Structure 1
Amino acid sequence: MMSTIAAPEFAMYHDEWHLSPILDTGEFVFFSGQTDTRPDGTVSADPETQFRDAFTSLGKNLAAAGLGFSDIVEMTTYHVELRRHLPAFMKVKDEHIRPPYPAWTAIGVVELITPGTIIEIRIIARRSKPGA
């Protein structure tokens, strides 16, 4: 049985965008893309702050699902000006993502949904691990 989950500050996306911020399928949990847009709708002008805000949002949604960063098995990131901002993104990513690292694909894009955003992070997490 599938269920929709969202951290309280992101629950409005279910009704406004007709999506599941988090879709829990039991073993695997799918997270819609997390951007650097803060719950109040603002976006920092500083790239490193945007990356921190995106990982903060992701952490809140992981916690809402009873998971943490170590449960991530796959991550896809979408970047405006990928090569320009990759060193700053890697720095912030490495503060949250630790070995064993998830599978990761980084994709450069022209724009994202909210004006001014430069990052979107989509993940799949696994609720149970073999041998755990």
Structure 2
Amino acid sequence: MRKVYTAKDVSASGPYSHAVDAGEYIYFSGQTAKNRLSPEDSPANESITSQTEQCFKHLTSVLEEVGLTEDNVVKVNVYLTSMKHFDEMNRVYETFFQAPYPARTCVAVYELPLGADVEIEFVAKR
């Protein structure tokens, strides 16, 4: 049976688990700033800095539920609605991870769920 984790203070914007245990690796679903328990708490026109910080707050909550920290993260995928957000997102990213940094992919996408401008997902290793 598949073991899944759900953070108590993060919502899901669809039928998915926050994290799935695959043995040595844990796969974390993407989180946006809009995954607050009360989506109406998301300010209109929220800055990319604020959205990125909120993504990491959600992911930290799920990491804690699993019993891991950011030091266990080996791969990060970042989705941005525009590469004009890249530098601002990176400034927040650098405050969350320490060198040596996880492997990372960052791509621009046309649109993200719930009107978000950034979505971040992890793979962590026990």
| 2:81 aligned with 1:80 | yes
Identity %: 28
In 2, the alpha carbon distance for the partners of 1:78 and 1:96 equals 17
Name the SS of the counterpart of 1:39 in structure 2.
Answer: coil
Match of 2:33 among 14, 33, 36: 36
Unaligned runs of 5+ in 2: none
- Superposed, which structure 2 residues align to 1:1-132 within 5 Å? 2-10=2-10, 13=12, 17-37=14-34, 38-41=36-39, 42-44=41-43, 45-82=46-83, 84-115=84-115, 117-127=116-126
Moved more, 43-52 or 118-127: 43-52
Name the SS of the counterpart of 2:9 in structure 1.
Answer: helix
Deviations 1:19-38 (A, max 9, x none): 11100122100001011112
Unaligned runs of 5+ in 1: 128-132
Q: Which runs of 4+ in 1 moved over 3 A?
A: none
In 2, the alpha carbon distance for the partners of 1:52 and 1:70 equals 17
8 Å contact from structure 1 (residues 28, 125) kept in 2: yes
Name the SS of the counterpart of 1:26 in structure 2.
Answer: coil
8 Å contact from structure 1 (residues 77, 106) kept in 2: yes
Deviations 1:87-120 (A, max 9, x none): 11111000011122111000101110112x1011
Alignment TM-score, normalising by the size of structure 2:
0.89
Alignment TM-score, normalising by the size of structure 1:
0.86
Aligned length: 122
8 Å contact from structure 1 (residues 43, 50) kept in 2: no
In 1, the alpha carbon distance for the partners of 2:109 and 2:52 equals 16
In 2, the alpha carbon distance for the partners of 1:70 and 1:81 equals 28
